[in-house]
Amino acid sequence: MNSRRNFLQKLAASVVTFPLLSSEAIACMEQTGSMVQDGPPLRVAIMGLGSYGTRVAEAMKDCKRARLTGVISGTPAKITNWQSKYNIPEKNCYNYENFDRIKDNPDIDAVYVITPNALHREHVIRAAKAGKHVICEKPMALNAKEGQEMVDACKKANVKLLVGYRMHFEPKTLEIIRMRKEGELGKIMFFQGLSGFAIGDPGQWRLKKELAGGGALMDIGIYSINGARYMVGEEPVWVTAQETKTDPEKFKPGVDETIQFQLGFPSGAVASCLSTYSMNNLDRFFLNGTKGFAELQPSTGYGPIKGRTNKGELTQPHMTHQTVQMDEMAAIIMDGKQPVVSVDGEEGLRDLKIIDAIYEAVKSGKKVKLTI
Ligand code: NDP
């Protein structure tokens, strides 16, 4: 009751500030408890104006706490286009050669790195050295060694490092995590994660080892890795993995097409996952405990996410993932808010340690022990 009353008090205050909140959004915030408080905005420069960068920029139009104030791009025509579309002044526009100068720009608090995977390490470390907080897309880096260097560099520069794990703020996902934490599913025994899509254009960077760092596992399988951890609520202690390749022409050496992997957790729970670049309609999580189950399908796409548990359909309303993510990240960076599931550099590093172990298990055919 108390928390409901507190919520309604906060809501009454917020209606003055945000009269355009939809009833769906209000209902969603009530159900998830996700409510970003007023406060200073996080002024963000997006680096890499590609397909996902564009999606983030569009979603940020509806943010309450995060604001797009700058861009970093290697394509002058995109910069001009974004300047007029998002009202970005010339002095807040950079390219990859000169963006270290961002350190002298008081209009930018954080850089959001949305470039191909192999560039994340350099881009994050340079942004950190320029004294800016950094949000980095998944996978945070190509391997745990690089990830550790990025975490260390951000610590040294005294800036925050977050990873773009948008599902950590998704209401139906959070409801399952709440049920698991409160024991409503009993002892967790099993998780299944299926993550994949049939990839198109063979010339794209996602199919180039030097830019992608691998194949489907780095790009889409990471959702099952990360999901296994937040669904089960433990860190894995071993992995086994098997690779299959049906098209060695498209999927060159070092670029995985399909990997099945299994994770073992300290409690005895196990996860069985599939990561692939050659099957569509593969986006499903299933969690099984001694008292109940939860399933999400789709589980990590842009939504709406759909799901049910042994108690019935999950009804939390859909909100644009990237809008919620950026508002929540603003509160994490500016107010020190603690998210339900961490999105910091250490969290990104844990997934990279598991990715390293999966590739090692594929190579050796053996069970690989993990300490995370
Ligand atoms: P795109 O290819 O659409 O965009 C990447 C952008 O990076 C390019 O448009 C370009 O922007 C810049 N870039 C800089 N150097 C290079 C280079 N050598 N080759 C290609 N592009 C370069 O990729 P996405 O936007 O789909 O993916 C970017 C990152 O975002 C990846 O790490 C990916 O995993 C992640 N992602 C995350 C998603 C999520 O849901 N969290 C969803 C999709 C992607 P410019 O011309 O401005 O320099």
Per-residue confidence (pLDDT) for residue 3, from 0 to 100: 41
Is residue 261 a contact partner of residue 280, using CB atoms and an 8 Å limit?
no
Per-residue confidence (pLDDT) for residue 25, from 0 to 100: 45
The model's pLDDT over 39-55, given as tens digits with 9 standing for 90+, comes to 899 999 999 999 999 99
Per-residue confidence (pLDDT) for residue 28, from 0 to 100: 45
Instruction: Assess whether 165 carries a catalytic annotation.
Output: no
Question: 64, 138, 172, 353: which one is catalytic?
Answer: 138
Residue from 230, 193, 192, 241 nearest 356 by CA: 241
Q: State yes or no: pLDDT of 326 exceeds 80.
A: yes
Separation of alpha carbons 43 and 36, rounded Å: 16
Is residue 277 a contact partner of residue 197, using CB atoms and an 8 Å limit?
yes
Average pLDDT over residues 50-69: 98
Residue from 59, 6, 26, 123 nearest 324 by CA: 59
Query: What percentage of residues in the chain have a pLDDT greater than 70?
Result: 91
Per-residue confidence (pLDDT) for residue 24, from 0 to 100: 44
Per-residue confidence (pLDDT) for residue 36, from 0 to 100: 72
Q: Is 73 in the pocket of ligand 1 (CB under 6 A)?
A: yes
The model's pLDDT over 264-305, given as tens digits with 9 standing for 90+, comes to 999 999 999 999 999 999 999 999 999 999 999 999 999 999
The model's pLDDT over 70-101, given as tens digits with 9 standing for 90+, comes to 999 999 999 999 999 999 999 999 999 999 99
Q: State yes or no: pLDDT of 14 exceeds 90.
A: no
Across the chain, mean pLDDT equals 92
Q: Is 303 in the pocket of ligand 1 (CB under 6 A)?
A: no
Q: Is 48 in the pocket of ligand 1 (CB under 6 A)?
A: yes
Q: State yes or no: pLDDT of 17 exceeds 70.
A: no
Q: Per residue, what are the HEC states of the chain?
A: CHHHHHHHHHHHHHHHHCCCCCHHHHHHHHHHCCCCCCCCCEEEEEECCCHHHHHHHHHHCCCCCEEEEEEECCCHHHHHHHHHHHCCCHHHEECCCCHHHHHHCCCCCEEEECCCHHHHHHHHHHHHHCCCEEEECCCCCCCHHHHHHHHHHHHHCCCCEEECCHHHHCHHHHHHHHHHHCCCCCCEEEEEEEEECCCCCCCCHHHCHHHHCCCHHHHHHHHHHHHHHHHHCCCCCEEEEEEECCCCCCCCCCCCCEEEEEEECCCCCEEEEEEECCCCCEEEEEEEECCCEEEECCCCCCCCCCEEECCEECCCCCCCHHHHHHHHHHHHHHHCCCCCCCCEHHHHHHHHHHHHHHHHHHHHCCCEECCC
The model's pLDDT over 192-248, given as tens digits with 9 standing for 90+, comes to 999 999 999 999 999 999 999 999 999 999 999 999 999 999 999 999 999 999 999
| Amino acid at the residue 217 | L
Q: Is 221 in the pocket of ligand 1 (CB under 6 A)?
A: no
Tally of CA atoms within 13 A in the half-sphere of 304 that contains its CB? 10
Residue from 104, 162, 110 nearest 132 by CA: 110
Q: State yes or no: pLDDT of 166 exceeds 90.
A: yes
Please give the backbone phi and psi of residue 98, each rounded to the nearest 5 degrees, phi first: -105, 5
Average pLDDT over residues 132-141: 98
Distance in Å, CA 48 to ligand 1 centroid: 6
Confidence of residue 21 (pLDDT cuts 50, 70, 90): very low
Q: Answer positive or negative: Cα dihedral of 95, 101, 107, 111.
A: positive
Q: Which atom of ligand 1 is nearest to the CA of 51?
A: 3
Residue from 41, 37, 31 nearest 10 by CA: 37
Average pLDDT over residues 345-351: 98
Confidence of residue 35 (pLDDT cuts 50, 70, 90): low
Per-residue confidence (pLDDT) for residue 114, from 0 to 100: 99
Separation of alpha carbons 285 and 223, rounded Å: 10
Distance in Å, CA 119 to ligand 1 centroid: 10
Q: Which of 49, 52, 134, 223 to mutate to test ligand 1, by most ligand atoms within 8 A of the CB atom?
A: 52
Per-residue confidence (pLDDT) for residue 38, from 0 to 100: 83
